[in-house]
Structure formats: structure tokens, C-alpha cells
Amino acid sequence: MSRKFISALSLGIILLALNAMGRVLADEQTPVRGGTLIAAIYPEPVTLTATYNNQYANRVISANIFDGLVYYDDNYRPQPRLATSWEVAPDGLSITFHLRHGVKWHDGQPFNSADVKYSALEVWKKVHSRGRSTFAALKDVETPDDYTAIFRLSSPSQVILSALDGAESQVVPKHIFDGGDIRKSPENARPIGTGPFRFKEWKRGQYVILERNPDYWDKGKPYLDRVIYRFIPDAAARSAALESGEVSYIPYAGVPFSDINRLKQNPELKFDSRGYSYAAQTYFLGFNLRSVPLSNLKVRQAIAHIIDRQRIIDTVWYGQSNPEYSVVPQSLTQFFTPDIPRYDYSVKQANTLLDEAGYPVKADGKRFTLRLYTDPSSSQFLLAGEFLRQEFNKIGIAIDFTPLDNATFLKKVYTDYDFDIIFQGFGVMLDPQMGLTRVYYSKAQSPGVPYANAFAYVSPATDRLIEAYQNEVDPKKRIAVIADFQRQALTDLPLLPVMAAPFFTVYNRKLHGLDFSPAGAHSGFRDAWIAGK
């Protein structure tokens, strides 16, 4: 056999192998229809809309059920969803949205501009904790026909087009909710949306089942038959369920941080930290200024001086985060300024400030006692509470730390204002106006509205800065105002930024088509599919 023939034969075999490999790779990228995705989250949602309570569990489930007018690409630019296009008027006082034709609610009723008008004016603007600030300039929505919605503004608003996706500003059905208080509607527990999945069942304490919407406007999607969200309180149990294959997807750092290195060695699992940057969530200590000791600025400054950011990150979160010193996180490079008041770790300085504030150490070694509650969304916050209790003890402040479930936490903090200090995450969002105004603006305080100003913080100087960045037309001037806002917020110190939220997603390698755009973690599973079912 000639060498030339052998070479030709070898080349043929190589080409056949490459061809086969190409077909395999192509097959791996071709979505497979059918199957059930089981995800695990905790805490359990309190509602299946994110219209008035935007806690993460509410968002991640309901984003499968509802659509927004837009979604955001990797460059944070809005892209069409229920709105196919839009124009901003030259004077900035109106935004015209052209709506998608042929969209139906899950009950078969047609979606139209009346739904957008109702959602914007009666829901986003009135009861959404961030929306009441985001849409402050929105004075009316005109609906000249079923497929046009014109937002009329009292002043140009640079923030609105950053706040219209299906988790932040869900378009809800007017024919279901109109005429009552959406916050009290039983329809929040059996929602009707326009999204890729329809609500099937909510068994309290166990799971929510969603099923494929066969009439979804984005033809051919979703690929999955159903999605089941299981509520597993114990993080170690979530980790075990992931390893056994009972669960295929866990967002928002839902496994023990002590398990991360071991789980990363599992060839069946993947980790990804993308999908969270849109929310720009930061963990803060928040001070109730109704508390007599905490109404004293020197006491708040003293507490700021005993927060060792890197140490709490290393101890509680196994180093999986970065310290934050400004109320605007460093990741928002357009708005962040380093020129701010800093409170570096110093037990000596903290003790001096407490003495100056008139709280000497008593015979029992204590100055006073404060109640601390931590975010119930993660078991790591329980460890953080114990860490903080020990740190406060160094300066003679006794901490009464009581773990709470989600419903009790929300009621105590945001309805009853019955707390001294909280340690909790707040989404600052793509534009700080969305996430910070509701926390710092004196007019944002409203009993029963979660994640709004629960701190009794009232500052005319801060209010003026907030109103200035809400109304400023010039982008450069607005950035300068937001820098001034950061300095004022850290001078008054009603809240102390501590660290970036250490979020990541862990999932089974057979799961494809996940959304890792800036808002991907709460964008649903319209593109997801399971290989080799």
C-alpha cells in the first residue's frame, strides 16, 4: 500500500472525525424541547409579582410569568420586548412606546396600551418601592390606540429607560387588578401574565410550578415544558440536592460558601457570577434614627469605625466579595466617586466618639443595648449577625440579635419600624436614582412599603440633591449631583455601605441557554433548555 494512499486515507478519516465532531458541537448548541427544570431558592416568595415587593425570590419566579416593555443587553441598552420601539421627544418631555401586536394574557385576553397605562400609573408609580422615585416625573400615559403608549413627563427623566424590564417594572393586566389595591389582591398568588410560563400551582412551604405558555408571542419559546421552584431552607440541603441531581439550578449564592471549592471540583456543575450587575446590590448597615442612641451622629460614626469590611467578607463569605465604602458601588463607574467621607477601622476612635456622645462604659462593661436584625434571604446573614455582635462588644455595645423569617422581618422593619439596626442588601441598580432614592428620600417613607426609607432619615440637604438629580437634564451635571449626594449620605450616615453582594449562580452542565446578561439572574428561562433529557 503506497504511502500516498495511506496519507489520503488518514486525511479522509480525520475529515470524517472533524465532520462528526462538528455535528456533535452543532447538536449541543441546538435547543432541545421539553423537560422539567427544577430550581431551588430561599426564602419562599411572599407574592408572585414584583410590583410592590421586589425581594429577589419574588422577582426570579415572576419574571417567568410577566414581561416588561424592554430587556437590557450586555451593554445595558434597552432592547424590545412588549415594546417593539420607542422615541424620546426632543424636549425630553415624552416617550412614545410602540407595542407588540398579537400578545395575549395567559387567560386569553389581548394585551394592549391600557395595560401599560394602568401598570405605570397605578402600580409602578404608586406602590413599587423603587418605582415611586423612578417614575416621579411621569404625570400621565396617553393611549391614542391599542398599540401606542405615550409617557408624558413633568420634566425630562434620564432614569425611566433604565427601569423597564420584566423584573423591575412588570406589565400587569388591568382587567385583573383594576379597581382595588394590588397589594391586597389574591391574584398575586395565582398570577396572569404575558410571559413564557404560566402559573400552575403554589404549594406553600414546598414549591411553585410553572408550565410552558403555548401561546407565547416569541414563537417557539420557551423550550422547557415546566419549571419547578423548590423552597429549601437549609443551604447544605440545597447543595446536596444539586450534587444528587434533584436540583439543576440555584441562583443568588444559594449554597454554603464553605462548599464552593468542593462543588467547583464536580464536573457536572458550573459556576457563573454574571447576571447580577444590573441590580448592583450592596449590603448596608441601616440605623433606625428613632432609637435614642442612634439619633446621635457620633454613635453612628463610632459604629462605622468598628466595621472591618474585609474581615467580615473573609470570615462569613469566604472572601467571595469586595468592600464598598460609598453608597454607590464601585462597579457603577459612571456614577461612583472616591471623594467621600471614610470611616476606617479603629476601635480607639470608636470608643472616643461614644464617650463624646455621652455614653460611658458602665460597671458591667456595657454602654447600651441595640437590637439587630439581618436579611433573612441567606443563612450567611445569621453568621454575619454573630460576627457583628462580637464586633460591637469590643466598644461596649450589647447586641440583641434575633433571627427572623422573611415575613416577620418585613413587618418589623418596614411596617412597625420596630428595630434598631438592620444588616441587609439594597439593589442600587443601574442608575442610583432607582435604588437609593427610595432609601434616602424623606418623602419615600411609607409604612408597609418594603425596602423604602424605614430609618426616619430626614435631611433637607439630601432631599434637595435627590430632587436635583431627578430633574437634571445635562448628564455631566447630573453625575456631579450624584457625587454630592454620596458625600452627603456618608456625612449624615443613616446607612453604612459594607460590601458588594457576593452573588453567583451554580447549575448543572446539562442546562443550556441561561441568561447571563446584566439582569439575567432575574430574567426567567425563556431561552433555557436541557441537553440529554
Q: Where are the domains of the chain?
A: 36-43+195-276+503-527, 66-186, 281-500
Cα angle, residue 226 at apex, residues 221 and 228 outer, rounded to 5°: 135
pLDDT at 413: 98
Within its chain, how far is the Cα of 399 from the centroid? 29
Contact 310/318 with Cβ under 8 angstroms? Answer: no
Query: In what side-by-side order are the strands of the sheet with 368-374?
Result: 397-401, 368-374, 421-427, 281-287, 495-500
Question: How crowded is the C-beta side of 377, counted as CA atoms within 13 Å?
Answer: 21
Contact 279/429 with Cβ under 8 angstroms? Answer: yes
Nearest to 103 by CA among 58, 67, 156: 67
Show the cell assigned to 167.
423584573
Show the cell assigned to 299.
454613635
pLDDT at 15: 42
How far is 130 from 434, CA to CA, in rounded Å?
6
Query: Measured between alpha carbons, how far is residue 203 from residues 190, 208, 244 in Å?
Result: 11, 6, 23
pLDDT at 4: 45
Strand-pair partners of 401: 372
pLDDT at 164: 97
Backbone region of residue 166 per phi and psi (left: phi > 0; alpha: psi in -120 to 50; beta: other values): alpha
Rounded (10°) CA dihedral 162, 163, 168, 169: -150
Question: What's at 122, amino acid-wise?
Answer: E
pLDDT at 532: 83
Contact 49/170 with Cβ under 8 angstroms? Answer: yes
How far is 417 from 509, CA to CA, in rounded Å?
45
The verdict on pTM exceeding 0.85 is yes
Show the cell assigned to 404.
427572623
Task: Give the pLDDT of the chain (533 residues) as one tens digit per residue.
Answer: 444 444 444 444 444 444 444 333 333 579 999 999 999 999 999 999 999 988 899 999 999 999 999 999 999 999 999 999 999 999 999 999 999 999 999 999 999 999 999 999 999 999 998 998 899 999 999 999 999 999 999 999 999 999 999 999 999 999 999 999 999 999 999 999 999 999 999 999 999 999 999 999 999 999 999 999 999 999 999 999 999 999 999 999 999 999 999 999 999 999 999 999 999 999 999 999 999 999 999 999 999 999 999 999 999 999 999 999 999 999 999 999 999 999 999 999 999 999 999 999 999 999 999 999 999 988 899 999 999 999 999 999 999 999 999 999 999 999 999 999 999 999 999 999 999 999 999 999 989 989 999 999 999 999 999 999 998 989 999 999 999 999 999 999 999 999 999 999 999 999 999 999 999 999 999 999 999 85
pLDDT at 533: 57
pLDDT at 5: 40
Contact 211/191 with Cβ under 8 angstroms? Answer: no
Show the cell assigned to 123.
402600580
pLDDT at 99: 98
Residue in the structure block whose three cell numbers are 411553585: 208
Nearest to 169 by CA among 101, 284, 72, 41: 72
Question: How do 70-72 and 78-80 pair as beta strands?
Answer: antiparallel
* Beta-carbon contacts of residue 511 (< 8 Å; ≥ 6 apart): 37, 248, 249, 528, 529, 530, 531
Assigned superfamily of 66-186: Dipeptide-binding Protein; Domain 1 (3.90.76.10)
Is residue 393 packed enough to be buried (19+ CB in 10 Å), middle (13-18) or exposed (0-12)?
middle
pLDDT at 13: 45
How far is 426 from 442, CA to CA, in rounded Å?
17
Instruction: Judge if the upstream peptide bond of residue 267 is cis by omega within 30 degrees of 0.
Output: no
Which of the listed CATH numbers 3.40.50.1980, 3.10.105.10, 3.30.300.30, 3.20.20.80 matches domain 281-500?
Answer: 3.10.105.10
Nearest to 505 by CA among 195, 202, 232, 238: 238
Task: Please identify, in words, the CATH class of the domain defined by 36-43+195-276+503-527.
Answer: alpha beta
Question: What's at 58, amino acid-wise?
Answer: N
